[in-house]
Amino acid sequence: MDTMQRTQNKFPQGGNTPVFSEMSALLAIAPRRPDPNAAFEDLTGPKERLFMQNVIDQSGIVQPSIFVRSDTFSEPHSGLDTQVLGLAVCSGVGSSALLGGDVAVHVKSTSDLPGMTPADLPPGALQVLDMPLIGGRAITPKQHSLGKIQALSPESPFPARVTIQVYYTFVLGTRDGKLSNVSDNISVEGQEPHYMEAVVTSIPPDANTPLQGREWDLLTGGDNFLKLWIKMEYFRFLGTGDWQHAQRLTLRDGIVTTE
């Protein structure tokens, strides 16, 4: 497995990037897209902050999110060191009052893209990449979540800009608001993807350099109805992931620690 060793003089070799992570998303119900520069506290109408952590599976193991990176190449027009970045698995679960209970994230695996198949995963993992981590079934987004890592200067790979467009589905618990009742879960595909970015000095980034969203994106709602908007406050990297831990990681007072 790619251990993703941090380096300052070159990008790590392409491969898997399993990471422990946590996310925060802002939700707001409004007839029009909120101003991206407006303070969350100043928004009127129903709103909430949705905090999500890695899924713990039925065996008690924390499931990481999995990014896949291509080998490094020189971008033809700029000459900058570049890697293609794909999000193959997004491990996130939380609780939302606006969405009626437990909520989990599901993305389309990159396993059908040439050169972007996650490798060296636990037995059987490739067969379930397109299934939600919390079990049951879900609508799989129609598009892959892809982006790139690109150096800011031809003289050095770091700092580098990471950008990615994430197409996602929310899986919602409808019976008593619990995802554990998998036969009753429903899924809602986001109508607009999240565009997230960060300038990083290592791969993976440190916990204080999260990916952040630029705009409010439409989660659901038609022309004649109030719309539910979402803005990704952050996707935080907490360390290289594996399939051995039974405790989630989190960031407290600037230090990564177990819950």
| Mean pLDDT of each 10-residue bin along the chain, 259 residues long | 50 90 95 91 92 90 92 91 95 92 92 79 62 78 96 93 96 76 81 96 94 94 79 95 87 84
- The predicted pLDDT at position 1 comes to 38
Residues 170 and 187: beta-carbon distance below 8 Å = yes
Tokens 């618990």 map to which residue? 173
Across the chain, the runs of DSSP E, i.e. the strands, are: 15-30, 47-53, 65-69, 73-74, 81-89, 93-96, 101-106, 145-153, 156-166, 169-172, 186-189, 194-200, 212-213, 217-220, 227-240, 249-252, 255-258
Task: Determine the pLDDT at residue 123.
Answer: 61
Output phi, psi for 185, to 5 deg. Answer: -70, 150
Tokens of 243: 């399939």
Beta-ladder partners of 171: 104, 187
Q: Measured between alpha carbons, how far is 217 from 133 in angstroms, rounded to an integer?
A: 24
